[in-house]
Amino acid sequence: MIQYKNVFKTYDGGDSSAVRDLSLDIEDGETLVLLGPSGCGKTTLLRMTNRLEDVSAGTIEIDGEDIGKVDPVQLRRRIGYVFQGIGLFPHMTVAENATIVPRLLGKDADGARAHARDLLALVDLDPDIYADRFPDELSGGQAQRVGVARALAADPQYLLMDEPFGALDAVTRKLLQEEMLRLKKQLSKTIIFVTHDIFEALSLGDRIAIMNQGKLEQIGSKEELVRSPASQFVSDLFAAPKAQLREFRALLEGE
Ligand SMILES: Nc1ncnc2c1ncn2[C@@H]1O[C@H](COP(=O)(O)OP(=O)(O)OP(=O)(O)O)[C@@H](O)[C@H]1O
Ligand SMILES: [Mg+2]
């Protein structure tokens, strides 16, 4: 379980803030989607969760333990992170990229290679074809899959995914979302998945937390959010795609 308790992240001695008084609990096995506009604090919240940044105030607890008191290296073994914008190492092969964490932890080369093949198969990349390629020999969607494989390599209990499918075309994105649902069932991890795509949020989240300007606007199931938005911001958020759907239907029916 991950618990955020009155978490703040401020800059410039408190003059500006990325996260403001945010409290929420994420249950074991749950996929929580963080949804919100650019700059609302989503990446900052993830970065604080594995201590790439420290909180300015408040606490983050994982399994009841304040992460501020845990060794960051130990902490990151339990948390897989898929970075916004992928971040594969260009001079390493796909197999080396996928197993960087176990290799840093001392896994031998042969073991790592066998492990890499399993991980690539898990994210539906044929190891015979892709294991020895370099990142610049992959499509965007394939590179994203390697990013997911890398995050899964140390078999972490928790997975933080920062807009993993953000830069992809709609068809590839849909495909990876479906795969994400399959992986989620297969691996039963606790996942925080960041997006600013409403449809992605609706398809992947057990619950959705909506953020706006560093604050939590509302958290709930998709039914709760759509039926009873707690603020104008939340109802506007759902109004735009509803209007889009109506236009699309009208277009189809006009044909
Ligand atoms: N080191 C920093 N100093 C000052 N402000 C910062 C710093 N890092 C981030 N911010 C600000 O914090 C806010 C939240 O940034 P964050 O990266 O968490 O947003 P985000 O929700 O992930 O946005 P996006 O959807 O564009 O990725 C932004 O306004 C950003 O400019
Ligand atoms: Mg971000």
Ordered by start, the domain boundaries in the chain are 2-75+90-254
As a whole number of angstroms, the distance between CA 160 and CA 137 comes to 26
Using the predicted structure, report yes or no on whether residue 125 has a pLDDT greater than 70: yes
CATH number of 2-75+90-254: 3.40.50.300
Task: Indicate if the pLDDT at residue 11 is higher than 70.
Answer: yes
Give the position, in ligand 1's atom list, of the atom nearest the Cα of 214.
14
Among the bound ligands, the one closest to the CA of 42: 1
85 vs 100, more confident: 100
Taking 80 as the threshold, does the pLDDT of residue 105 lie above it? Answer: no
Q: What percent of the chain is predicted at pLDDT more than 70? A: 99
* The pLDDT of residue 196: 85
Please name which of 9, 37, 36 lies closest in space to residue 21, comparing C-alpha atoms. Answer: 9
pLDDT digits (tens, 9 = 90+) for 154-167: 888 999 999 888 77
* Ranges assigned E (strand) in the chain: 2-11, 16-26, 31-35, 57-62, 65-66, 79-82, 158-162, 190-195, 207-212, 215-220
Pocket of ligand 1 (CB under 6 A): 11, 16, 18, 36, 38-44, 84, 196
Is residue 62 within 8 A of residue 2, CB to CB? The reply is yes
Report which ligand 1 atom has the smallest distance to the Cα of 41.
Answer: 18
Q: Which residue has the higher pLDDT, 86 or 43?
A: 43
pLDDT surpasses 70 at 255: no
Farthest-apart Cα atoms in the chain, separation: 62
pTM of the complete model beyond 0.75:
yes
Q: Would the pLDDT of 14 be above 90?
A: no
Segment 202-206 shows an average pLDDT of 92
Q: Among the atoms of ligand 1, which is closest to the Cα of residue 37?
A: 25
Closest C-alpha to ligand 1, atom 30: 39
Q: Is the predicted pLDDT of residue 137 greater than 90, yes or no? A: yes
pLDDT band at 216 (very low <50, low <70, confident <90, very high): very high
Is the alpha carbon torsion for 167, 52, 121, 96 positive or negative? positive
**236-249 residue pLDDT tens:** 988 887 788 888 88
Q: Separation of 195 CA from ligand 2 center, angstroms?
A: 8
pLDDT, mean of residues 164-178: 81
Residues 6+ apart with CB under 8 A from 7: 19, 21, 22, 23, 45, 48, 55, 57, 58, 59, 60
47-51, 60-64, 114-118, range with the lowest pLDDT: 114-118
83 C-alpha to ligand 2 centroid (Å): 9
Ligand 1, atom 29: nearest CA belongs to which residue? 39
Question: Distance (Å, rounded) from C-alpha 203 to C-alpha 28?
Answer: 19
Q: Stretch 200-214: mean pLDDT, rounded? A: 94
Per-residue confidence band for 209, with pLDDT thresholds at 50, 70 and 90: very high
**So what's the pLDDT on residue 232?**
94
**Picking from 40-44, 117-121, 165-169, which range would have the lowest pLDDT averaged per residue?**
165-169
Q: Is the pLDDT of residue 140 over 90?
A: no
Closest ligand 1 atom to residue 46 Cα is 18
- Mean residue pLDDT of the chain comes to 90
Q: Which segment, 161-165, 186-190, 233-237, is predicted with the most confidence on average? A: 233-237
Give, to the nearest 10 degrees, the angle between helix 109-122 and helix 140-152: 120
